[in-house]
Amino acid sequence: MGRYLLTLRRFWATALAGQLEYQLNVLIDLLAMAGNLAGSLFVISLFYGPGRSLGGWSWESALVVVGVYTVLDGACSSLLRPNLSTIATHVQQGTLDFILLKPIDSQFWLSFRTVSPAGLPEIGSGLGLILWAASKAGASPTPTGCLTAALMLASSLVILYSLWFGLATTSIWFVKTWNATEVLRAALTAGRYPISAYPLGLRNLLTVVLPVAFLTTVPAEAILGRVSVGAAAASLLMATVTLMLCRGFWRYALRFYSSASS
């Protein structure tokens, strides 16, 4: 465990040092963050009018969902995209061999090799939005409430990671799966809005098949202090199951890996 933490620190220190070479990118990331957030807020404001609301959520509580989505999006650009998008490249160029030979778990190496500051503004602004909107919506922070909220956020991150890693794993067979993750991203935009705003059929699909509900709606409910015990337990269960599945799937996929030149 200690060895993994030490490796992680080295990985990220070198990655950040490399990224800071491109200072113009910081400006672009900030602009992109502001634009995206303004756009999200604008679109969601269109749904609110006299006598109209999104699936029975008040304006402030819908903003909490947007905040959670923004945080997840930031985590994607910081951690998931820079790492997991390289898996296909490693398979294509045969460099996966070198990673498998390293005396460290290959899934760990592939998942946490680099970190990019690109998502930090989004994570920050998302957290800010959550705090502001939650206090506006009248959520009162209690120790257990905060703990549940943190737990639900963590479990949504785990689910997101497992989905993405599972998809990226298929590149062992199909090599080019870059756009499969693009489909996933498009589908995940459904998470910008509370799940109860969707028609019933789609709602079930987004809960069971593609667990978007656990990604944003359940954490938002936890932050607002009104999550049901059942939903919280289901979220944890979902996180455990998807993580185990993606771990098993990676192990299974590696058995089919024959390096690029053989």
Partner 1 sequence: MRIARVLLSSQYAYMLEYRAEIALWTLSGVVPFIMLALWSQVDASGGGTGELGLNRLQLGRYFLSAFIVRQFTIAWVVWAFEEDALQGRLSHALLQPLHPLWRYLGAHLAEQATRLPFVALLVGLFFLLQPDTVWLPSLGQAFAALLAIWMAFTINFLLQSAIAILCFWSERANALERLLYIPYLFLSGLVAPLEVFPPAVRAAALWTPFPYMIAFPAQLLSGNPPSISGGFAAMALWIALLLPLVALLWKAGVRRYSAMGA
Q: Which of 193, 215, 207, 198 is nearest to 61 (CA)?
A: 193
- Answer yes or no whether residue 76 interacts with partner 1 by CB under 8 A: no
For tokens 């998502």, what's the residue?
A: 119
* Two structure tokens written together for 75: 């985590």
Site for partner 1 (CB under 8 A): which residue of 6, 13, 20, 28?
A: 28
- Only segment of 4-12, 188-196, 221-229, 244-252 that touches partner 1 (CB under 8 A): 188-196
Least distance (Å) between residue 73 CB and partner 1: 13
Q: Which of 37, 108, 39, 42 is nearest to 73 (CA)?
A: 37
For tokens 């933490």, what's the residue?
A: 5
Instruction: Please list, in sequence order, all residues whose beta carbon lies within 8 angstroms of the beta carbon of residue 153, skipping any fewer than 6 positions away.
Output: 68, 71, 219, 222
* Two structure tokens written together for 188: 């995940």
- Answer yes or no whether residue 18 interacts with partner 1 by CB under 8 A: no
SS3 call for 1: coil
Closest to partner 1 by CB, 58 or 107: 58
SS3 call for 49: strand
- Answer yes or no whether residue 20 interacts with partner 1 by CB under 8 A: no
* Dist CA 125 CA 46 (whole Å): 21
- Answer yes or no whether residue 42 interacts with partner 1 by CB under 8 A: yes
Least distance (Å) between residue 188 CB and partner 1: 10
Dihedral angle sign, alpha carbons of residues 194, 73, 90, 238: negative
* Two structure tokens written together for 5: 């933490």
Closest to partner 1 by CB, 2 or 199: 199
- The number of residues that bind partner 1 (CB under 8 A) is 36
- Answer yes or no whether residue 69 interacts with partner 1 by CB under 8 A: no
- Answer yes or no whether residue 55 interacts with partner 1 by CB under 8 A: yes
- Answer yes or no whether residue 209 interacts with partner 1 by CB under 8 A: no
* Dist CA 7 CA 108 (whole Å): 10
Contact pattern for partner 1 over residues 168 through 187, marking x by CB under 8 A: ------x-x--xx-xx-xxx
Which parts of this chain interact with partner 1 (CB under 8 A)?
Answer: 22, 24-25, 28, 31-32, 35-36, 39, 42-43, 46-47, 49-55, 174, 176, 179-180, 182-183, 185-187, 189-190, 193, 197-199, 202
